[in-house]
Structure 1
Amino acid sequence: MQRTSFLLATLYVAPSTVVALSSLCNRRQAIGAFTTGAITTVVSTQVNAEDKEIPDRLNVEDYLRNGFVSNPMGVSGQAGKSRPETGVVLRDGSEVSRDPRSGDVLAEILVSGGDNMVPILASFSSPWPLQTGTVFDVECRDPSTGDGAFLAVSRKTSGQSLAQLSDAFFLNDLFAPTGRFSFYGSPTDVKVKSSSLIQRNNGSSYKVMDVSFSTLSQSTQSEIPRRARIVATIPSGSQQAVLLVGSASALRWKKGSEEQIQKVMSTFQAIPAPVTGLKLRAKERRSSV
């Protein structure tokens, strides 16, 4: 089986805040590798080593274009890619939920608090349905348009605040070869359009980034422009940042999706969960389609 290595290029932030991030070593070689055989990538995860996990399979072309898996697949339909990694670890005994009337989404996740795991309640309000199945962690999406939002968790912040963390700290995780947007290698032409820190009325700090990028389509071998808004916060007691990432195609972004995604982003929060008697254990990720 042919292997292709992907490298994250050094992130350069110019006065215009243009970021040259994570291009393929050789784009044409990568495309050729996928047309002749499956590429194996090493999937990294922030779950403890003892947590057993079996990578799932999905129709990556449908997932890249529409954000969902059309049908459960047999061996012939498998495209040879593992499920995307968002860094999200759900707490055992909890369920991700969405109120169909209000659109409120709630998930209890585990993050690093140093020597121990810390339970965090992450919430946001979404007009799109909650996506369920083996390839999703916490994600809401409109299957017909591809507009949607998903939760992500960063690597450890090493005690740095949001103000001290660079844009590259977050983008290197989101656009890594195993990330949500990286089915045929990390996205190219990644540019940070804006980056700012905001303080909400409850005292919580959030980092907001607007990003443009392109993903590669295997069927057309062409770049697909997308836009994303990323909101990140570091909950009290956490050594990891929790992010909500909303995205849409560049065309839909210009035609009104930006306003809808901003409404979703404005409802996002991640706070320490109430103390309970439940053990802090990671929920096993389902491995069957």
Structure 2
Amino acid sequence: MRTGLLAVIFLFLERWRHYQALTQTSFRPQHHRLTQRAPPSALFATERTHTTRAVFLATCVASVTFPGHAFDGGVGGLGKTRPETGVLFFPGSSPFQNADGLVTAELVTAGASNQPYRVSFRTPWPLLPTTTGLESRDLQTSESAFVQVLENTPLPTSTANFATLVQNSVLASQGKFGAYGSPTDVKVKRLDSAVGTGLTYSVRFVALTPGQRESERQLLIRCVPIADSLVLLLAGTTRQRFATQQGTLRDIIDSLEVVPTPVRPLR
């Protein structure tokens, strides 16, 4: 507010000085002859010049104190635009989301089995219109959920084995979070699985933004095997927001279902 007041005062003083210059008498004696008043066009040009200058300077004064917000993009902004997620849609099918937030897609494995399967999960965020992956995102915050498929990969036999899988896919240069540099301080923890088959993990790491700023993030991941591949559903946000969003993220990954389907597209 103080900066705005200073800008108004500055503008007022500029206009007042110009007004005084215009109202000074033009009948100064010079050998008993009247001075010639400037034509209206000249006065208009002068006023326009002073006004433009005043507005420009006042704008500069008012704007220099606004804080700068460095980029700290969410999954979409921080992550790679077209990451290699391993998602292959079955020919003739397309993913969709119903009014209750249930996302359903029919995929096919890239391995020798060439197995069609149906993936579904429930999310409160909209499904993104993309042909390269399966992702939903909160467009107002940094929360998102997406599917990663690892071909020719069985269920991990240990936490260390799973950490290697994640670092070679999601956190790699071709993955969602390794586009701008290798994530650091990676911590992987196995969690109790609440439903069905598969394994559940928590992954913390520090990623880099396009501006090379560090961004602490945390993911919840559930992995389920299908034929000779492994399907991962990852839901995450920034480390600062994780505590308040953990329940929602856990509900999302626990809703994952992976079911083999006949060789036909989804109708």
Counterpart contact for 1:208–1:232, Cα < 8 Å: yes
Q: Which has the higher helix share?
A: 2
CA RMSD after TM alignment: 2.4
Map Cα deviations across residues 65-92 of structure 1 (whole Å, 9 max, x no partner): 13347xxxxxxxxxxx762111111111
Q: Which one of 225, 228, 252 corresponds to residue 234 of structure 1?
A: 225
- The verdict on how the C-alpha distance between 1:164 and 1:195 changes in structure 2, with shifts beyond 3 A counting, is closer
Q: Which one of 232, 243, 253 corresponds to residue 265 of structure 1?
A: 253
SS of match in other structure, 2:232: strand
Structure showing greater Rg: 2
Counterpart contact for 1:162–1:234, Cα < 8 Å: no
Counterpart contact for 1:162–1:233, Cα < 8 Å: no
- Provide the residue aligned with 2:109 in structure 1: 111
- Confirm or deny that 1:126 pairs with 2:123: yes
Map Cα deviations across residues 102-127 of structure 1 (whole Å, 9 max, x no partner): 100001111145x3300010100000
For the residues of structure 2 that align with 1:218 and 1:276, how far apart are their CA atoms?
41
- Confirm or deny that 1:151 pairs with 2:147: yes
Q: Which one of 153, 162, 170 corresponds to residue 174 of structure 1?
A: 170
Map Cα deviations across residues 218-275 of structure 1 (whole Å, 9 max, x no partner): 33x321000001100102xx11100100010111112x111111111110111101x2
- Provide the residue aligned with 1:189 in structure 2: 185
SS of match in other structure, 1:208: strand
For the residues of structure 1 that align with 2:259 and 2:162, how far apart are their CA atoms?
22
Q: Which one of 242, 245, 265 corresponds to residue 234 of structure 2?
A: 245
Counterpart contact for 1:86–1:153, Cα < 8 Å: yes
- Confirm or deny that 1:94 pairs with 2:85: no
Q: Which has the higher contact order (CA 8 A, sep 6+)?
A: 1
SS of match in other structure, 2:248: helix
For the residues of structure 2 that align with 1:125 and 1:196, how far apart are their CA atoms?
20
- Confirm or deny that 1:217 pairs with 2:217: no
**CA offset at residue 169 of structure 1?**
4.1
Kindly provide the amino acid, as one letter, of the partner of residue 232 in structure 1. Answer: C
For the residues of structure 2 that align with 1:228 and 1:199, how far apart are their CA atoms?
17
TM-score if structure 2 supplies the norm length?
0.65
Kindly provide the amino acid, as one letter, of the partner of residue 233 in structure 2. Answer: L
**CA offset at residue 163 of structure 1?**
3.6
Q: Give 5+ residue unaligned stretches, structure 1.
A: 1-60, 70-80, 279-289
Kindly provide the amino acid, as one letter, of the partner of residue 117 in structure 1. Answer: N
SS of match in other structure, 1:65: coil
- The verdict on how the C-alpha distance between 1:249 and 1:190 changes in structure 2, with shifts beyond 3 A counting, is same
For the residues of structure 2 that align with 1:83 and 1:95, how far apart are their CA atoms?
18
Percent identity (aligned): 29
Map Cα deviations across residues 175-217 of structure 1 (whole Å, 9 max, x no partner): 111001122122111111x2146374xxx42111101111112
**CA offset at residue 276 of structure 1?**
4.0
**CA offset at residue 162 of structure 1?**
4.2
